[in-house]
Amino acid sequence: MTDSKYFTTTKKGEIFELKAELNSDKKEKKKEAVKKVIASMTVGKDVSALFPDVVNCMQTDNLELKKLVYLYLMNYAKSQPDMAIMAVNTFVKDCEDPNPLIRALAVRTMGCIRVDKITEYLCEPLRKCLKDEDPYVRKTAAVCVAKLHDINAQLVEDQGFLDTLKDLISDSNPMVVANAVAALSEIAESHPNSNLLDLNPQSINKLLTALNECTEWGQIFILDCLANYTPRDDRESQSICERVTPRLSHANSAVVLSAVKVLMKFMEMLPKDLDYYGTLLKKLAPPLVTLLSAEPELQYVALRNINLIVQKRPEILKHEMKVFFVKYNDPIYVKLEKLDIMIRLASQANIAQVLAELKEYATEVDVDFVRKAVRAIGRCAIKVEQSAERCVSTLLDLIQTKVNYVVQEAIVVIKDIFRKYPNKYESVIATLCENLDSLDEPEARAAMIWIVGEYAERIDNADELLESFLEGFHDESTQVQLQLLTAIVKLFLKKPTETQELVQQVLSLATQDSDNPDLRDRGYIYWRLLSTDPVAAKEVVLAEKPLISEETDLIEPTLLEELICHIGTLASVYHKPPSAFVEGSRGVMHKRLPARTGSGEGTECPDVGNAAGGSAPEAAPSIIPSQGDLLGDLLNLDLAPPTTTGPTPSTSGMQMGGMDLLGGGLDSLMDESEPPHVPLQTDPPQSPSPQPPSPVYTHTDYTYTDYSHTDSPPDHSSTEHSPPAELGGDIGGSPAMGAGFGAAPTVMPASLNAPVGGGLGDLFDLGGGVGMPMGAYIPPKTVWLPAMKAKGLEISGTFARRAGVIQMELVLTNKAMSVMTDFAIQFNRNSFGLAPAGPLQVLTPLGPNQTIEVSLPLSTVGPVMKMDPLNNLQVAVKNNIDVFYFSCQYPISMLFVEDGKMERQVFLATWKDIPNDNESQFQIQDCHLNSEAASNKLQGSNIFTIAKRTVEGQDMLYMSIKLSNGIWVLAELKVQAGNPNYTISLKCRAPEVSQCVFQCYEAVLKN
């Protein structure tokens, strides 16, 4: 007879049948019945109606039956809390049973019954079980404390279970220690400021001892707990490392990875010249390699982690290239990860081997893998200069296969190779041109068009080639359209005589027939450049491009550091910080690597480049966002054709009119709504089309010349070079700026007339460059402590930030009859660690009816405790009469530090990185400042405007704030001309500060 029969019955009246069986006298029958009930429960049938009958079976000597009943209870107690109470007595009795198995079973099950009412009955049995003589009961009870804490945290604290739990860390049984550590770690996570897990050298020593005796799973708890400890110095760090290292050869990969995490973290503190450091590096490689012989699931997880480790410390695996070669029977997701690591490890020493492998991969069956392999060849060429030639010839071989997707990938990477090594491999262009017809993916088409445009002078039939693309202009994706526009303009500048018609055609297509603002704006820029100053146009469009850098897809250093602290966890698989996917307070704590002692860098993050073997520090590789452009993403600029209708031609006509004021208009053309012409002024023969003579052409000092000496920012180079970025590269900005520019005629006067020659870049500097910083906002003084409450002493005051120092400005008034002396002040612990930086300077005694103003400098290094509201400060003032207490709220703006201006790139990355849940929106009513005045005003309070953009008359200001405790707040302020209501969105990793920050905005802007 087997159990499977339980799954088969679903007849009517089944419940009644079961009921009868449950109440049977025969034990066997009862057991069978309970099994049937549980089987139904598993497949999702509701058998809660049987609750009383099942509970009746609970009182039995048969352990097997008891376990089955408990299983049922755990599932249904929550839905039947009143009935669950019925079971309590049996539980309490079982906790006294002579059999430790039954005691443990009872305490384990009670904890799983997540009913609030039951908890009070649980406390006494739990207390006994925590001190039970049997370790099996104790280890079960330790976990039960965590369960209880999850249901009722206050109760656990009140009952003193936490202290008992702490004592269990010194238990003689390693299993008990491990469970106590696990329970405490979890409880500590919900109390970030408590030092529940008081990690000090003594307790660490205990843990390290238990580590050797635990089960493998216990070792994981202990290692994860160790990883949260920060050793005092490199000595301690080394001794812990030495004791953890033996775990690297454990058969359980989870133990190995937890050990790797501890070592990677503590290694950070070891001096590089130490012999031990080198030894440790050598010891880390074999366990990582071993992970690759596990099941594919584990391999994948391991590879994601190795990817991080390789970025942080490439030297660990630099000799192990071969293990990352793919096997033909690897699952595709393992293959792709291996490929990624291969490129990261590629160097001059192993490039020949790598290339040979990649070439093999490029002929495999799986399309995704082949594509990535082809791309990898290109990345090798860019990374290892010596190999470039071989890479190019390999790519050419692959193009010969005529396999459609291989050809397209190859062309995309060859474009990057051209940008890295200009004027070296152009001989292959002819081969590329042969494959023009087979290109059907936008990225490949765009790349090919870029190549044709860039090397138009060497391609005899460049105009024919481009013309052929132009036929289906409207069916192309935006990426291709933009690229085609630029390429034809390039062609025109190189061969003006033959291509006039072509350029007119494309300009008219782009500006007139397109709904896409990006395309239209770029069209207009070219048009006006060509019409006003073709020499400048040449300088702009054909400007020398910066070389692209070699490393792509690197993880941003701060994120990488955080991820290294989370090796072996889900974060390391997703490559996202835990705050991005774990709910609740758990994500708020950001883990960081410890600083190297003795380096004097403080908590400054160590240079990523310094990982290379302790030789001369390499330049930190610049980080390139893997796709598109961050700014584009941030500003929600969809680079694809817009789905909503863009501004209609009439509005753009109006905008053009606005631009006309600046000295170069096309108004006549626009107003006549004729097909626009390209007015040509220069050496090429006059345009055959009739040109309406217009005075605007005489403006030769047109401000567009500014752009010509804009160097492309070096950080902009990208191998994932998207066509919009092309324009950006030319005129010194990113694609969004093209759009921002076109759509922002109203703000243009400011930037264009500004004497600085930064071109569009200045748009982003408005706050700092143009504005006049005003003083920080200081709220008016308010009465904090009325004389009534303080035996005649009245205190009023405010807070201010002057020259980077926070000051508490107090006015003390003596309204009593006697003289007051011996003043002193103290703060309670508060959210930002505010504390008096010196004594309260009241030197002379304060006579009756006398008033004195005192300024007390504050520091932010005091003890921290989260207050509610966040900016609440509890103060005690003492004088010769008594001690008085009051509380006040400080404007959080005085905590905004002077260096709170974030780099633009960092801002974008951070904005993206902070989860959307952390964003909060507020309205500021009745504010009549324009965006510039607002930005100036805010800057006075250390709220820095980083970028500004205008969309349809609405100014968007992007701002950053840094608090004295290092928290960054990012803000987006929307100001609509003529509308006194601003909208502000705040994003911060600690969202609880948002409300306070918003209040500051309101206070600053309205005063």
**Of 252, 308, 322, 245, whose CA–CA distance to 281 is shortest?**
245
Looking at beta carbons only, is 337 or 521 nearer to other proteins? 337
Among 14, 17, 364, 715, indicate the residue that binds other proteins (CB under 8 A).
Answer: 364
Looking at beta carbons only, is 182 or 485 nearer to other proteins? 182
Q: Which residues contact 58 (CB under 8 A, 6 or more apart)?
A: 66, 69, 70, 73, 87, 90
Q: What secondary structure does DSSP assign to 571-609, as a single string?
A: HHHHTS-GGGT--GGGGTSPP-PPPPTTS--TTPPPPGG
Among 446, 503, 571, 752, indicate the residue that binds other proteins (CB under 8 A).
Answer: 571
State which of positions 199-228 bind other proteins (CB under 8 A).
Answer: 215-217, 220-221, 224
Among 568, 728, 729, 891, indicate the residue that binds other proteins (CB under 8 A).
Answer: 568
Question: Which tokens sit at 240?
Answer: 């812990």
SS3 state at 661 = coil
State which of positions 306-325 bind other proteins (CB under 8 A).
Answer: 322-323, 325
Looking at beta carbons only, is 809 or 919 nearer to other proteins? 919
Among 15, 208, 332, 662, indicate the residue that binds other proteins (CB under 8 A).
Answer: 332
Q: Rounded to an integer, what distance in angstroms lies between the CA atom of residue 455 and that of residue 676?
A: 28
**Of 305, 835, 747, 946, whose CA–CA distance to 570 is shortest?**
305
Which among 430-438, 444-452, 562-570, 954-962 is the span making contact with other proteins, rule CB under 8 A?
Answer: 562-570
Which among 143-151, 464-472, 596-604, 862-870 is the span making contact with other proteins, rule CB under 8 A?
Answer: 143-151
Binding mask 745-774 for other proteins (x = CB under 8 A): ------------------------------
Which among 356-364, 681-689, 718-726, 834-842 is the span making contact with other proteins, rule CB under 8 A?
Answer: 356-364
Q: Which residues contact 395 (CB under 8 A, 6 or more apart)?
A: 374, 377, 378, 410, 413, 414
Question: Which tokens sit at 606?
Answer: 């160590």
Least distance CB 253 / other proteins (angstroms): 5
Among 10, 12, 13, 43, indicate the residue that binds other proteins (CB under 8 A).
Answer: 43
State which of positions 371-430 bind other proteins (CB under 8 A).
Answer: 397-398, 400-403
Among 49, 570, 876, 977, indicate the residue that binds other proteins (CB under 8 A).
Answer: 570
Among 47, 50, 54, 68, indicate the residue that binds other proteins (CB under 8 A).
Answer: 68
| 179 lines the binding site for other proteins (CB under 8 A) | yes
Report which residue type is found at 784.
W
Which among 237-245, 255-263, 887-895, 981-989 is the span making contact with other proteins, rule CB under 8 A?
Answer: 255-263
The answer to whether 972 touches 960, Cβ cutoff 8 Å, is no
Looking at beta carbons only, is 307 or 483 nearer to other proteins? 307
Among 146, 488, 748, 870, indicate the residue that binds other proteins (CB under 8 A).
Answer: 146
Among 27, 114, 495, 590, indicate the residue that binds other proteins (CB under 8 A).
Answer: 114
The answer to whether 960 touches 834, Cβ cutoff 8 Å, is no
Q: Where are the alpha helices (DSSP H) in 367-403?
A: 367-383, 388-400
Among 86, 123, 143, 951, indicate the residue that binds other proteins (CB under 8 A).
Answer: 143
State which of positions 574-633 bind other proteins (CB under 8 A).
Answer: 574, 578, 581-583, 586-587
Among 197, 210, 257, 263, indicate the residue that binds other proteins (CB under 8 A).
Answer: 257
Looking at beta carbons only, is 251 or 788 nearer to other proteins? 251
Alpha carbon distances (Å) from 976 to 190, 880, 951: 42, 56, 10
**Of 323, 353, 352, whose CA–CA distance to 338 is shortest?**
323
Helices (H) and strands (E) in the chain, counts: 41, 13
Question: Which tokens sit at 70?
Answer: 């408990």
Element (H, E) at 948: strand 944-951
Least distance CB 43 / other proteins (angstroms): 5
Looking at beta carbons only, is 249 or 468 nearer to other proteins? 249
| 688 lines the binding site for other proteins (CB under 8 A) | no
| 7 lines the binding site for other proteins (CB under 8 A) | yes
| 75 lines the binding site for other proteins (CB under 8 A) | yes
Q: Give φ, ψ of 470 to 5 degrees.
A: -65, -25
Please give the size of the binding site for other proteins, defined by CB under 8 A: 99
Question: Which tokens sit at 315?
Answer: 């030297």
Among 111, 664, 729, 771, indicate the residue that binds other proteins (CB under 8 A).
Answer: 111
Burial environment of residue 380 by CB neighbours within 10 A (0 to 12, 13 to 18, 19 or more): buried
| 866 lines the binding site for other proteins (CB under 8 A) | no
**Of 327, 333, 330, 342, whose CA–CA distance to 379 is shortest?**
342
The answer to whether 579 touches 588, Cβ cutoff 8 Å, is yes
Burial environment of residue 615 by CB neighbours within 10 A (0 to 12, 13 to 18, 19 or more): exposed
Distance, CA of 13 to chain centre: 56
- Beta strand 793-802 with 805-814 is antiparallel
Which among 243-251, 518-526, 744-752, 845-853 is the span making contact with other proteins, rule CB under 8 A?
Answer: 243-251
Among 329, 643, 644, 645, indicate the residue that binds other proteins (CB under 8 A).
Answer: 329
| 78 lines the binding site for other proteins (CB under 8 A) | yes
Least distance CB 640 / other proteins (angstroms): 23
| 39 lines the binding site for other proteins (CB under 8 A) | yes
